[in-house]
Structure 1
Amino acid sequence: MDKIIISPSKYVQGAGTLAKIGDYVKPLGGRPLAIADEVVTGLVGETVTSSFAAAEAKLTMEKFNGECCRDEINRILEIAKSTQADVIVGIGGGKTLDTAKSVAFYSKVPVVVVPTIASTDAPTSALAVIYTPTGEFSEYLMIPTNPNMVIMDTKVIAGAPTRLMVAGMGDALSTYFEARANSISGKPTMAGGASTKAALALAKLCYETLLADGLKAKVAVENNISDKAVENIIEANTLLSGLGFESSGLAAAHAIHNGLTKLEECHHLYHGEKVAFGTLTQLLLENAPMEEIRTVIEFCRSVGLPTNLFDMGVKELDHAKLMEVAEASCAEGETIHNMPFAVTPEMVFAAMLSAHEIGQM
């Protein structure tokens, strides 16, 4: 199997970077179509418009209606055709960015991704999640190339709710442990080949950065400021975790997250909050050293991530429901089968209960 690593063509990060977006995007196209929802447009629309005007680019700003679905993709595709857009710019949260990726893919033009939060590692990836118009999961759109550019304005991101950045830390927390499991098993990664030493090193650096700067970044963001720790965590949540998961592989933690969607009590949680408990469960599943498990628990507690099912809103342990979670985690095609040993629902059930108990100690 060939070793493969993939990444965006350019990653730009800094405070106030959106004021320079016109200069960054201009080499990719002179007729950009930018999409953002109403809230984001109110937050950064004037800055973006002024920057493109200064760069003498013919910008079209279009309001994103809130759902990355086929209807919305097709609607914006028509606008891209009528304006002869030669580059698509998505500004906002995950659904806005995935819509921009999809429109650019079907339009066969470059895409620039501009997250306004750092809650997941999806912005750098060659993947879009498409939903139904009512918000139910529909399909994954696998895109042949990563975004042409990712722009992270840390001043904007630092102004977002603290919980979103903390959720991003929960998502990033799994990166190294899933990458490590995948490197041992030798299973194919999201990039379509075997992992590289470079990708594994990025995944490990992601974990080390979380431990070093996670709590400091949380404190800074709670005060709506961006400092060196915030800069480092935004990079860890987005770039290091994004490259790490895509080119090193996913394993049990994300599969357990998917299983946890079966619990109605967990529906209020962000993706990364569920992934954090999935990471702890994976460590129990592989019988990791207690020192490592303790380090993960202490980190989660320090930033406010859940370490047990009660933290996640579960009122009482219903073993039948937990077995449903375990079975869903082990469904055919799930990433849990990238672990370096065969995994059964019974093993996941036991690991979840152990993680829950130890996570309360």
Structure 2
Amino acid sequence: MDTAVIAEAPTRFLVAGMGDALATWFEARSCGATQSENACGGLGTLTGLNLARLCYDTLLEYGVAALVSCKANAVTPALEHVIEANILLSGLGFESGGIAAAHSIHNGLTALPGTHNYYHGEKVALGVLASLFMSGKSKALIDEVYSFCESVGLPTTLAGLGLTGVSPDELKKVAARACIEGESIHHEGGDITPQMVSHALLAADGEGRRRKGIAG
């Protein structure tokens, strides 16, 4: 991998890669807890799970510095660490560990044309935030992930994906798409319903707006 090429590329590509990589740890952990199959049809390994965790830790540690470096078209250790997380650690982590809610919510969001100008990783990032609410994660963890997304410019609201004034019917469409048979959201524990997904998206959007100081 020629990291100088990435340093010269638009920073939005790097940030979108971080959004996709952000899901790796959360999804691998869910698949491990429910013994769900990974991309190869087997069960996740300890190696895969620990690589997924390293991916998350690397993003939190070096994400901002990598973004600053990329904006300056500078190859630095931080940028190279995040490139490694986006490509190698995330790739090995999801193939070995499996995927779950965040990618299904991404798939649901693609049902709305307003999201079509946004990158895969940008939609996955909001899927991660929604999945934290859906699975009842702690406030401390939710704060940590929102802070990371805000620090690198990943979407934390529906408006951040071009969705303003989303109707209840549109949210139902997203949630139904995310929950179709065979979707990876069913690798999460319990019986996941479209209503759970739509409520999680509303909660994630509400928290993102609260942190931005947006009324509503």
TM-score, structure 1 as length reference = 0.58
The answer on 1:250 being equivalent to 2:99 is: yes
Say which SS state the counterpart of residue 359 (structure 1) adopts. Answer: helix
Matched residues in 1 for 2:69 and 2:209: separation? Answer: 27
What is the Cα deviation at residue 315 of structure 1?
A: 1.6
The answer on 1:228 being equivalent to 2:85 is: no
What is the Cα deviation at residue 171 of structure 1?
A: 0.2
Name 2:214's counterpart in structure 1.
Answer: none
Amino acid corresponding to residue 62 of structure 2 in structure 1: D
Name 1:300's counterpart in structure 2.
Answer: 149
Name 2:60's counterpart in structure 1.
Answer: 211
Amino acid corresponding to residue 147 of structure 2 in structure 1: E
Name 1:309's counterpart in structure 2.
Answer: 158
Please show how residues 152-171 of structure 1 align to structure 2 within 5 Å. Answer: 152-171=1-20
Which of 172, 185, 198 is matched with 2:47 structurally? 198
Structure 1 vs Structure 2 CA RMSD: 0.6
Say which SS state the counterpart of residue 307 (structure 1) adopts. Answer: coil
The answer on 1:288 being equivalent to 2:123 is: no
Matched residues in 2 for 1:249 and 1:338: separation? Answer: 9
Amino acid corresponding to residue 79 of structure 2 in structure 1: V
Name 1:91's counterpart in structure 2.
Answer: none
What is the Cα deviation at residue 191 of structure 1?
A: 2.0
Matched residues in 2 for 1:219 and 1:272: separation? Answer: 19
What is the Cα deviation at residue 359 of structure 1?
A: 1.4
Gaps of 5+ in 1: 1-151
Q: Sequence identity, in percent?
A: 50
Aligned residues: 210
What is the Cα deviation at residue 317 of structure 1?
A: 2.4
Residues 188-220 of structure 1, C-alpha deviation per residue, up to 9 Å, x if partnerless?
A: 111221111110000000000000000000000
Larger Rg: 1
Say which SS state the counterpart of residue 360 (structure 1) adopts. Answer: helix
The answer on 1:358 being equivalent to 2:197 is: no
TM-score, structure 2 as length reference = 0.96
Gaps of 5+ in 2: 211-216
Matched residues in 1 for 2:151 and 2:137: separation? Answer: 21
Matched residues in 2 for 1:291 and 1:359: separation? Answer: 15
Which of 79, 85, 88 is matched with 1:239 structurally? 88
Determine which structure has the larger helix proportion and give its number.
2
Deviant stretches of 4+, over 6 Å: none
Matched residues in 1 for 2:54 and 2:110: separation? Answer: 29
Please show how residues 84-233 of structure 1 align to structure 2 within 5 Å. Answer: 152-233=1-82
Matched residues in 1 for 2:63 and 2:209: separation? Answer: 21
